Structure 1
Amino acid sequence: MLTTQQIAELAADLESFRVERKESFKPVKGAVEEAICAFANALPGSNLPGVILIGVSDRTGTPTGLAITDELLREITDIRSSGNILPFPIISVYKAPLAGQEIVVVEVEPSHDPPVRLRNRVCIRVGPRKGTASRDEERVLNERRRSWDGPFDQRPVHGTTLEDLDLNLFKQEYLPSAVTPEVLRENGRSLAEQLAALHLASPDAVPNVTGLLILGREATTYIPGAYVQFVRFDGPDMTDPIVDRKELRGPLPEVLRRMDDITSAHIHVATTVAGATLERRSPDYPLAAMQQLLRNAVMHRNYETSNAPIQWYWFSDRIEIHNPGGLFGRTTPDNFGKPGGNDYRNPNVAAALYLLGFVQRFGWGIPNARKACHDNGNPAPEFKFETSSFAVIVRARP
């Protein structure tokens, strides 16, 4: 956190390209997002955080008298997890005094995982120039990524080649979801360069963990636990007869769609007739809740040190999902599923699933699952946290 003196110096230094000053927030939210993206990319390589001062005149460096409310601070903080900027930027948002008034300070750390994109654009700032990175500038950001130790899902999987990926899936589904049509039309990059730019391979064309999980023809060859084990029991115990059993393997988009199909097929819908024509259909489980919880399991599981699959057990009275990997980062049992309590073991996998439409908004999966259960008349989901595992139990609608 900057000192009061440092903030005053940055506000007054109208020539500094480390600083953006904005008189307000809501009318210029898009410009603030662009500045965060550009500071996160840190193309000049200074390794110093960028600073955005909100409630400060860009012409004079003096405060504008903007009302600094908790709601304003929350809206600015939400930029991090809105999904518009990927991979997630590291920002600090706080109030600070300037010339006897309050302003908002946003500090943006240089990303260890460039290029960072705002709605599929790589925003940069080099001296007075602001805009979208050129092909050569984006290559510099890709090369810089090699020098950082990133999360496990970013690591290249040595021994693999691009032939281990379903490149038709990449070209027909992933690429159009991740890059705007205008950029695609002007895109002169090779396939290897496109995969690297979208964090699915290293700059030297070696698929990384995310690339294998999202596009891999058989990811379990290199990541043994990358599959889902589904079992339906004809009773409340694991000793009861098995009605259905499946192992779901392949690219995650296909696995998630098969999970939706299985859920829909196994949900029972009760129909009651009121009067001559009125019917009320009441499923024993809400599809929306199961989608959120299963996708959460795929997105947050530990792919690095566990060879166990995600275990999805469907009993006559409940559904259990057991996930390798306990709570991660800043998430605790107390803040789990609450604003500010989410963290990402696999940030690149999360970003890929967001781009493909399987995640609508980061940090809202658990609250949405709870709401869907409540609205359907199910008990609230039960979460069990262990050091190296995580489980959720959803009980059938009474």
Structure 2
Amino acid sequence: MLTQKQLVQILGNPESYNIEITTSTTNMDKFCQAICAFSNDLPGDDKSGYLIIGAEDNGKLSGLRVDDGLLLKMTNIRTDGNILPQPVMTVERFVLEGGDLLVVEVKPSEFPPVRYRGRIWVRIGPRKSIASEAEEKILMERRISNIRTFDAMPCIGTTFADIDINLVRSEFLPKAVASEILADDKRPLEEQLASLGFFDLRYNCPTNGCIILFGGNPGRYFPGAYVQYVRFKGVDRAGEIINEHKFGNNLCHDLIKIDAFVETSVSQKRPIPISVLREETVANYPYWATRELLMNAIMHRDYETNAPIQFYEYDDRIEIQNPGGLYGKVSPENFPNVSDYRNPFIAEAMKILGYVNRFSRGVYRVQKELTENGNEKAEFDFSFVTAFRVIEKASKRYYDAGFGAERNPQETHKKPTRNPQETPQNIRERIIYEIQKNPAISGRELEALLGRTSNSIKHYLLQMNKEGIISHEGPTKGGRWVVLKK
């Protein structure tokens, strides 16, 4: 970052291709365009760009007072997902005699072109503009020369015939590139994909990430590129296999299936009565949290290994294990506060497709949703050198309400003994019978007489009240029940 002395010198001579000065504090489009342009570093001199807020074009201070809200707003630009790949930037406040300055230092990206909402912005002298095709080609070639990750390397031996072109055109490109730009882009699909990091023009073949995302048969080149779901009966792998499924198609095709599978087959939602007239929905495993953990495994896994992602469900928990341990700057000590990407282009595509909501905060949201649903917080296991595992335990509230008892045998002894021949109609008839005998009967008395849990009794009373079979008169405590019809 600049020193205060260097900053004063810049204000004395502000005209430069890597300096943008503004008095605005609200024009987020302008800020993001400048950050995008600095990241692209079209001249290629590897110099940082500086967005300076709080001064006139001539360098005179505007008298701005930089508060924490403005600092936070500028810092959030890095992770809000609008600029991809993520910019490398730092934000700092300088307090000068004539007012404050907020300075955003932007490092040149190693993986240009960088896009802001699908558009490539570059710096031409002291102004910025959308890149021309020739300028985009320069940035694309620079990206190729900086290839360091597996997903951006050429998949030697593949051709355009190995990817689902219709899927790319219909599902991916319209989301990755602004519609008006895509309509005017007359380049071959190879060059369009190359500009996004999914085709290698030197070897004239798709990248590894392209095959994984859009390949017609990705397993042919990456045998471990699939998700293996297994539902075991019991609490370990010695139990009987109740259900299994393999998601082995390309990610663009499978992500929507995995999303639906988690929501409909894994996350079981049930209404739990809170009072006689109110109920709340609870799940054994909350959908969004489970989905996020699985999507993170897909995004961060090591695709060079032949091992799949293990998505294993037991009676009391879910375990998700993906090949590849913590990556890059991430360590057990700084997780999840620090993030790094083993597969930045796959991560970028998943963001574009809508399966990663926002970088760097998913784990916090997962833990919050688990806690609110009655689950324990997810446990992250870093003990494996070549793998990463997360454990999500089933919701205690879900099982305490009487759901899923057959899947949680450890809890069976806590529940009242019931007649196995008892049906919902029998229970309703017994409740009516007890109310007629004692209109002032309490919920606890009904629990004892019928051998049901508190939530079960509340459930039946709530439903019967809704259907007009019974009604409660007077206060919750001390009132009386009335049978309206049998």
Which of the five TM-score ranges fits, normalised by the shorter chain? Answer: over 0.9
The answer to whether the 8 Å contact 1:214/1:251 transfers is: yes
- 1:363-378 matches, within 5 Å, as 363-378=360-375
Q: Distance in 1 between matches of 2:323 and 2:128?
A: 43
How far did residue 271 of structure 1 move? 4.5
Task: Identify unmatched segments of 5+ residues in structure 1.
Answer: none
**CA deviation vs aligned residue, 1:56-81 (integer Å, no higher than 9, x gap):** 222x2133232223332222121111
SS at match of 2:244: strand
Change (3 A) 1:103 1:274: closer
Q: Distance in 2 between matches of 1:282 and 1:15?
A: 59
**CA deviation vs aligned residue, 1:300-351 (integer Å, no higher than 9, x gap):** 11224x332111110011000012222223333344234xx22222211111
- Residue in 1 aligned with 2:324? 325
More deviation in 148-157 or 45-54?
148-157
Q: Distance in 2 between matches of 1:40 and 1:219?
A: 32
TM-score (norm 2): 0.76
Over the aligned positions, Cα root-mean-square deviation in angstroms equals 2.1
Among 373, 379, 384, the residue aligned to 2:381: 384
The residue type equivalent to 1:229 in the other structure is: Q
**CA deviation vs aligned residue, 1:98-135 (integer Å, no higher than 9, x gap):** 55754222111111211111000000111144211111
How far did residue 223 of structure 1 move? 2.5
More deviation in 132-141 or 98-107?
98-107
- Residue in 2 aligned with 1:14? 14
SS at match of 1:176: helix
SS at match of 1:375: helix
**CA deviation vs aligned residue, 1:120-162 (integer Å, no higher than 9, x gap):** 0000111144211111211121122232233222111111112
How far did residue 212 of structure 1 move? 1.4
- Residue in 1 aligned with 2:288? 288
- 1:138-217 matches, within 5 Å, as 138-204=136-202, 205-217=204-216
**CA deviation vs aligned residue, 1:214-263 (integer Å, no higher than 9, x gap):** 11122232233211111110111110000112221111132222222332
Change (3 A) 1:275 1:23: closer
- Residue in 2 aligned with 1:354? 351
The residue type equivalent to 1:164 in the other structure is: D
The residue type equivalent to 1:364 in the other structure is: R
The answer to whether the 8 Å contact 2:286/2:373 transfers is: yes
Change (3 A) 1:368 1:220: same
The residue type equivalent to 2:184 in the other structure is: E
Q: Distance in 2 between matches of 1:335 and 1:66?
A: 35
Q: Distance in 2 between matches of 1:274 and 1:321?
A: 32
The answer to whether the 8 Å contact 2:63/2:98 transfers is: no
SS at match of 1:142: helix
Change (3 A) 1:103 1:249: same
More deviation in 292-301 or 68-77?
68-77
The answer to whether the 8 Å contact 1:322/1:389 transfers is: yes
Percentage of identical aligned residues = 42
The answer to whether the 8 Å contact 1:4/1:97 transfers is: no
**CA deviation vs aligned residue, 1:273-309 (integer Å, no higher than 9, x gap):** 68888665432111111111100111111224x3321
The answer to whether the 8 Å contact 2:54/2:102 transfers is: yes
SS at match of 1:220: helix
More deviation in 267-276 or 222-231?
267-276
The answer to whether the 8 Å contact 1:49/1:108 transfers is: yes
- 1:214-293 matches, within 5 Å, as 214-263=213-262, 264-272=264-272, 280-293=280-293
SS at match of 2:342: coil
SS at match of 1:210: helix
SS at match of 2:128: strand
Change (3 A) 1:384 1:61: same
**CA deviation vs aligned residue, 1:37-74 (integer Å, no higher than 9, x gap):** 1111111222211111122222x213323222333222
- Residue in 2 aligned with 1:103? 101
Q: Distance in 2 between matches of 1:275 and 1:79?
A: 44
- Residue in 1 aligned with 2:312? 313
How far did residue 178 of structure 1 move? 1.0
2:70 corresponds to 1:49: no
The answer to whether the 8 Å contact 2:20/2:126 transfers is: no
SS at match of 1:322: strand
The residue type equivalent to 2:4 in the other structure is: T
TM-score (norm 1): 0.92
| Greater Rg over alpha carbons, structure | 2
The residue type equivalent to 1:343 in the other structure is: D
Change (3 A) 1:49 1:279: closer
Among 55, 75, 83, the residue aligned to 1:77: 75
The residue type equivalent to 1:28 in the other structure is: N
Change (3 A) 1:151 1:308: same
Change (3 A) 1:271 1:90: closer
The residue type equivalent to 1:9 in the other structure is: Q
Q: Distance in 1 between matches of 2:330 and 2:381?
A: 14
2:345 corresponds to 1:345: no
SS at match of 2:119: coil
Q: Distance in 1 between matches of 2:156 and 2:69?
A: 47
The answer to whether the 8 Å contact 1:93/1:106 transfers is: yes
Change (3 A) 1:173 1:228: same
Q: Distance in 2 between matches of 1:370 and 1:336?
A: 14
Change (3 A) 1:92 1:281: closer
The answer to whether the 8 Å contact 1:300/1:345 transfers is: yes
The residue type equivalent to 2:86 in the other structure is: F
Q: Which has the higher contact order (CA 8 A, sep 6+)?
A: 1
Change (3 A) 1:279 1:47: closer
Q: Distance in 2 between matches of 1:275 and 1:331?
A: 46
The answer to whether the 8 Å contact 2:65/2:99 transfers is: no
The answer to whether the 8 Å contact 1:123/1:133 transfers is: yes
The answer to whether the 8 Å contact 2:36/2:116 transfers is: yes
